[in-house]
Amino acid sequence: MSKPSISVVIMARNEAKNIGEAIASVSFASQIVVADTGSRDNTMELARQAGAEVHSIDFDGYGASKNRALEFAKCDWIFSLDADERVSPELAGSIARTVNSPKYDGYTISRLTYFLGKPIRHSGWYPEYVLRLIKKGTGKFSERLVHENIRLDCPTGKLDGLLYHYSYRDLDSYLEKMNVYSTLNSQELYRSGKSIHFFDMLIHPPATFIKMYILNAGFLDGYHGFLLAGLSSFNVFTKYAKLRQLHHEGPVK
């Protein structure tokens, strides 16, 4: 039986620990593209061994780089996957069935994120619906440095099954990503002309903790919910501290 006309596009950098499983979870696709943004490990070699088509691209922020990666897609449909994500068998079947008789040009998927090995089902993280499956030529990613998403100017449907997200396997990986994301977030705020006040650093971090841990029932996630709310609060504080630094010192040239 021929595979459905789907191009899976994965942007990766130093993802040797993840890339093989990510590719294996989308074996239903006709084309699997890995766009590498400068790996120093053997990500590209492992991706080729797993059957993916590998390309090297420059990193210009997540949104712009992912749009460049989409240009390698050759099939009728495009599915965007991160290297630390896995398509569940139910979702794989739903994708394959949907593209054979589509009702929409885009479909959202319920993503379940794991934090230090535990699935987070509260804290404002679940259910999280992300738009990942689109008909080729109908949409593209927002040109954001970080927290990019696909923009599609038409109604979308929902797919069955879960997209598993293994983004934060340990505290070190969380802190590494937090440092990168807070830097990119502060740069984006700076470029947009966002001013910085003392009250931003005083109010927004505790507000983030209260929202995640209490209003979004993060306490039901136990210790992991408490830790996640605390770290997210610190992430917000760091973002505004870096924004203040940009206003006082200017961007690094």
Q: What is the pLDDT of residues 125-138, one digit of tens each?
A: 998 999 999 999 99
Q: May I ask the CATH architecture of the domain 6-168?
A: Alpha-Beta Complex (3.90)
Q: Which of 1-5, 33-37, 203-207 has the lowest mean pLDDT?
A: 1-5
Residue 145's pLDDT band, with cuts at 50, 70 and 90, is: confident
In the chain, the amino acid numbered 198 is: F
Listed by start position, the domains of the chain span 6-168, 171-249
Q: Give the mean pLDDT of 114-128.
A: 95
- pLDDT greater than 90 at residue 252: no
Single out the residue of 183, 180, 112, 108 nearest to residue 149, CA to CA: 108
51: alpha, beta or left, given left = phi > 0 and alpha = psi -120 to 50?
left
DSSP β-bridge partners for residue 150: 141
- pLDDT greater than 80 at residue 250: no
Helix (H, G, I), strand (E, B) or coil at 206: helix
The dihedrals phi and psi of 6, each to the nearest 5 degrees, come to -130, 130
CA distance 44 to 105: 31
CA distance 86 to 81: 8
CA distance 121 to 112: 7
Residue 251's pLDDT band, with cuts at 50, 70 and 90, is: confident
Q: What is the pLDDT of residues 83-97, one digit of tens each?
A: 999 999 999 999 999
